[in-house]
Amino acid sequence: MSTQQTALSPGRANLALATLFLGMFVLGSGELLVVGVLDRIAADLHVTIPEAGTLVTVYALGLAIGGPILTALTIKLEKKSVLIGSVALFIACNLVAVLTSNYGLFLVLRFLIGASQGLFIAGAFMAAMVVVPPERIGQAIGIVISGVAMSGALGVPLGTLVGQTLGWRGSFTAIVVGAVITLIGTATLIPTVPPAGAGAAHQAKYAFAPRVLAVLFLNFIVFSTVFATLTYLVPFLQRVTGISGGLLSVFLLAYGAATAIGSFGGGKFADRNASLTLIIGSVGIAVSLLVLYFVGSIAWLVVLALLAWGLSFYSIVPSLQVRVISLAGPGGQLAQSLPVSAANIGIALGAFAGGVAIDNYSASAPVIMGLIFSVVTIAVAWGSSYLKPPVVDEESSPAAAAPAALAEPA
């Protein structure tokens, strides 16, 4: 891939990264939007709230399973075209969702929308990596990832507000408008990005190597750690901290803003030393959760703990991506679609474990569950720091290896 760097001026490169950021923001908002208008969808489609909640599950399956499958199927295609195609599929499926009143069709559409987002994510990372100099690859990945963080911090609240005002179909229409703008930006501002590496079968040998699976497991356990607590943060704030109403939004916004800042800064840390960043960030998550547990009844200290937690969490997400791509070597193009799958499985486990904890104990129990997971996270982060990228004959696998800048310092 290092031989395929696309020569762009700094201004053009920044415009390309801004387009990819927008795409991640819009598509990420489309993923989470359902949560804020679930009751309205259920009423409109004449299903129960739990049945409507299945829309979240099938989207996650589309992202975790459909995304890598589409990435493998399109692995030898030019990536700008893949990005355009993924956004076009996202738009088409959301438009049909706006028009349909058939719940079964809606479920199928949500799976396809999730798969299109997974395909866009993989293409966005590759495009980001080739429009910047090798020494800025981590920062470029951080900018792309920050679009997801911003969708959680701002996109969902704004989409929910639109949904409460114009109905859930209105909020989905707003997402379509944002996706159309992304499509135009992608067509005009993203340069041609040739495919890198061999076919999917050859890349899979490297993408699923034990060293890559180890970091994917770290990705999985990091998201399990965070979402064991985050899923039940509102009950914690209500019952332990003693806040409600509008103040809840303030506390959640503080966490969301911290994740966005962390993703920007985390890209720079990934460029310097991704392995060390993963260790320090994992320790930061554990310490933040420990503080949150002990100061849960003191509102202003809870805000500080949430800020530290959000910063620690998203500061390591770019490094997780960089390490997977680096350790996959010639399988980097396929491997870059896998962290989002590991993350979604981790979210599912974390939410389940946190639910068991709060059902059987107290509102503080999910924090303890997150702490238990965090101990494993630190150990895996430390152990995986010793893993090295494969040594590959570049002539036998041209343009397949990850950029040299992704290699970790000894």
Flag whether the pTM goes above 0.85: no
- CB of 266 closer than 8 Å to CB of 142: yes
DSSP notation for 238-300: IIII---THHHHHHHHHHHHHHHHHHHHHHHHHHHHHHHHHHHHHHHHHHHHHHHHHTTT-HH
Domains of the chain, each with CATH number or no CATH: 1-196 (1.20.1250.20), 200-389 (1.20.1250.20)
Distance between CA atoms of residues 73 and 313, nearest Å = 32
How far apart, in whole angstroms, are the C-alpha atoms of residue 117 and residue 63? 7
pLDDT in tens, the chain (410 residues): 443 555 567 788 889 999 999 999 999 888 877 766 777 888 899 888 778 877 877 888 888 889 889 988 888 888 899 999 999 999 999 999 999 999 999 999 999 999 999 999 988 988 988 888 877 888 888 888 888 878 877 766 676 677 777 888 988 999 999 999 999 999 999 988 877 666 667 787 888 889 999 999 999 999 999 988 887 888 888 899 998 877 877 887 888 888 888 887 888 888 889 899 999 999 999 999 999 999 999 999 999 999 999 999 989 988 998 899 889 888 877 787 788 888 888 888 888 888 888 888 888 999 999 999 999 999 999 999 999 888 765 444 433 444 444 545 43
Determine the Cα–Cα distance for residues 332 and 163; give it in Å rounded to an integer.
39
Nearest-angstrom CA–CA distance, 243 and 248: 7
Q: For residue 4, what is the enclosing H or E element?
A: none
Report how far apart, in Å, the C-alpha atoms of 14 and of each of 74, 189, 190, 375 are: 26, 10, 10, 38
Helices 365-384 and 338-360: crossing angle in degrees, nearest 10, is 150
- If one counts every other C-beta atom within 10 angstroms of the C-beta of residue 47, the result is 16
Are the CB atoms for 189 and 74 separated by under 8 Å?
no
What are the tokens at 1?
């891939």
Cβ neighbours of residue 41 closer than 8 Å, sequence gap 6 or more: 34, 52, 55, 168
